[in-house]
A and B are shown apart, each in its own frame.
Chain A
Amino acid sequence: MIERIVAVDDRRPSYANRQPDESVNYSTEHPLSEFAWLAGGVLASVALCFALVVGFAGVLASRIPFDVERDVARQIEGFWCPRSISAEGRKAQETLSAIADRLAKAMPEAGGITVSVYLDERPIVNAAATLGGNIVVFRGLLEKLESEDAVAMVLAHEIAHAAFRHPASHLGRGVSMYLLMAALSSATGSTVGAQMFQMAGQLPVLKYGRDQESEADAAAVAALVSVYGHAGGAMDVFRVFSSAASRTEGVEFLQTHPLTSHRTDEVGKIARKNGWAIDGGRRPLPDSIRSLR
């Protein structure tokens, strides 16, 4: 009966195995075009969701009474308060406090808050405002500043952060962001999904940070001009930052601060609009700060 089977195979076309029809089971859309639609849509909606929730949390946190914020700050002092300070550092810190008080009085936004200035003697080129109106200036930055005007700009910028309650709203955003990320990452159940959310979620949050920097710059320059008569100190500080950075600054939308060149332009624009002088005679550094060099 071998012939019978062979007959099925060779002479009866109804029993032939045909090639699979590839036009039915496969999508004709190019994988990259589908991917572009999906990535764009999903990432945009994640970014929008983060922007709304995190933005709202930031607004809520900045409505916390300042006294409560100060109490909270006292409990976590160890994170930012320098542990020890030299005798010369203490003198410089007192001078900084005096300048800060003068600036705070000139800043209408700082009416409801009290500001404390700390000097951290590590060689870091930075200054920061933390919860409760506490401002930390690093010795590394002070050593680079050439005039009292520049020191005042740094302080005014940080006072403005405190006045606008930025540290509190930053904390509120950070916590809500963390919760959202944890929730979404576990919902997607994959590391790739988590990575994607981190990327999409961070962008709006960084944008809030940059907006806050610009807001603080504007208020700081106004205070600087009202105490020192011109905005020269601001330009000096930006020059120090751009020479300290001495690198290509990268892409702005991935950063916490606006690019220094944008900050310089922005402050120049504000000064021109209000008819403020951009340059003028600088006051020399107070002796206590000069002695840190």
Chain B
Amino acid sequence: MKFIAQYFDLIVFFVLLALGYSVGRWNELRHFHSLRTRERLYARVLTFSAKTPPDVVTAQDCMLVAGGVVVSSDYFKQFAGTLRSFVGGRMAVYETLLDRARREAILRMKEQAMRRGYRLIVNVKIESTNIGGVRGGVPAMEVFAYGTALKPHTPAS
């Protein structure tokens, strides 16, 4: 007991680090698995970064579709990121985190389009906003994907 009392700060630190790593890593692997599955599912909704749809000259119905994700870093990523920031270089722990957020945002946008019967999204853009990481805060980001969903105009009968 005395040992625990004496090194309480250090123990808390290592527990948080281990928890951040194990839970964070488990979540990440699970998320990647889910991303791959849903990306195959929504492959039928085509996305283009170009402003105009390919090969389409007819009147189209259009709708703004968007998908947003807010991701937070975990204790381990934050600590590893702090270490990396001293020496510079590739911040691998955040690369996967932000890529997951981008893929998730696009998927949510596609899901919205698909529900309304759209199969084509043009002018797709991705924005990101830092909403944390100021002194003492946990780094968190919003990643927001949006575009114009198109489907051929069907005149009201």
Number of A-B pairs, beta carbon distance below 8 Å? 99
Residues of B within 8 A of A19 (CB): 36, 39-40, 43
- Closest B-chain residue to A35, C-beta based? B80
A5 engages B7 (CB within 8 Å) = no
Is B156 an interface position by the 8 A CB rule?
no
Among A4, A17, A29, A190, point to the contact of B152 (Cβ < 8 A). Answer: A4
B119 engages A5 (CB within 8 Å) = yes
Docked CA distance A38–B85 (Å): 10
Docked CA distance A34–B21 (Å): 13
B135 engages A189 (CB within 8 Å) = yes
Among B10, B79, B103, point to the contact of A192 (Cβ < 8 A). Answer: B79
B135 engages A15 (CB within 8 Å) = no
- Closest B-chain residue to A43, C-beta based? B83
Docked CA distance A5–B154 (Å): 13
**Which residues of A, 26-49, contact B by the 8 Å Cβ criterion?**
26-27, 29, 31-32, 34-35, 38-39, 41-42
Contact with A along B56-93 (1 / 0, CB 8 A): 10100000000000000001101110111111001011
Q: How far is the CB of B103 from chain A (nearest CB, A)?
A: 6
B3 engages A196 (CB within 8 Å) = no
B92 engages A247 (CB within 8 Å) = no
Is A275 an interface position by the 8 A CB rule?
no
Q: How far is the CB of A11 from chain B (nearest CB, A)?
A: 12
Docked CA distance A1–B13 (Å): 63
- Give the number of residues in B that approach A within 8 Å (Cβ atoms): 48
Is B95 an interface position by the 8 A CB rule?
yes
A5 engages B152 (CB within 8 Å) = yes
Residues of A within 8 A of B129 (CB): none
A42 engages B83 (CB within 8 Å) = yes
A20 engages B92 (CB within 8 Å) = no
Among B36, B82, B99, B152, point to the contact of A25 (Cβ < 8 A). Answer: B99
Is A195 an interface position by the 8 A CB rule?
yes
Q: How far is the CB of B67 from chain A (nearest CB, A)?
A: 15
Q: How far is the CB of B156 from chain A (nearest CB, A)?
A: 15
- Closest A-chain residue to B83, C-beta based? A38
Docked CA distance A38–B86 (Å): 9
Residues of B within 8 A of A16 (CB): 43, 46
Q: How far is the CB of B16 from chain A (nearest CB, A)?
A: 9
Taking beta carbons and an 8 Å cutoff, which residues of A are in contact with B? 1-2, 4-5, 8-9, 15-17, 19-20, 22, 25-27, 29, 31-32, 34-35, 38-39, 41-42, 188-193, 195-196, 199, 247-248, 250, 254
Taking beta carbons and an 8 Å cutoff, which residues of B are in contact with A? 2-3, 6-7, 9-10, 13, 21, 25, 32, 36, 39-40, 42-47, 54-56, 58, 75-76, 78-80, 82-87, 90, 92-93, 95-96, 99, 103, 119-120, 135-136, 151-152, 154
A-B contact pairs, 6 of them (CB 8 A): A1-B152, A8-B120, A9-B44, A38-B84, A39-B83, A188-B82
